[in-house]
Amino acid sequence: MSPEQPPTAGACSDAGTESLEELRAAPPQQDADGQPVWPAADPSRPVGKGNPPRGRRSQSHKPRATHMEVETRIAEAQLWIAQRLPLAQIREKAAHNWGITNIKTVSRYLALARQRMVEELISDRRRHQAEQIFALNDCARRAMDAEQFNAAVGAFRVIAEIGGLLRAPIKPPEPRA
Express each pLDDT in 98-125 by its tens digit: 988 899 999 999 999 999 999 888 888 8
Please list, in sequence order, all residues whose beta carbon lies within 8 angstroms of the beta carbon of residue 93, skipping any fewer than 6 positions away. Answer: 80, 85
Percent of the chain scoring above 90 in pLDDT: 37
- Could you count the other beta carbons within 10 Å of the beta carbon of residue 19? 15
Distance CA 22, CA 20 (A): 5
Same structural domain for residues 24 and 109? yes
- Does a structural domain hold residue 43? no
pTM > 0.85: yes or no = no
Angle at the Cα of 155 from the Cα atoms of 149 and 157, rounded to 5 degrees = 105
Identify whether the C-beta of residue 66 lies closer than 8 Å to the C-beta of residue 30: yes
Same structural domain for residues 114 and 92? yes
- Does a structural domain hold residue 91? yes
3-state secondary structure of 37: strand
Express each pLDDT in 4-54 by its tens digit: 444 444 445 566 667 677 666 655 566 677 666 655 555 666 666 666 655
Same structural domain for residues 82 and 157? no
Same structural domain for residues 114 and 74? yes
Same structural domain for residues 25 and 96? yes
Same structural domain for residues 117 and 129? no
Domain that holds residue 86: 9-31+65-123
Same structural domain for residues 133 and 85? no
Distance CA 170, CA 167 (A): 9
Residue 3 has a pLDDT of: 47
Identify whether the C-beta of residue 112 lies closer than 8 Å to the C-beta of residue 19: yes
Distance CA 11, CA 123 (A): 16
Same structural domain for residues 110 and 149? no
Same structural domain for residues 115 and 155? no
- Does a structural domain hold residue 103? yes
Same structural domain for residues 84 and 110? yes
Please list, in sequence order, all residues whose beta carbon lies within 8 angstroms of the beta carbon of residue 109, skipping any fewer than 6 positions away. Answer: 23, 73, 74, 77, 94, 100
Residue 174 has a pLDDT of: 76
- How many domains are there within the chain? 2
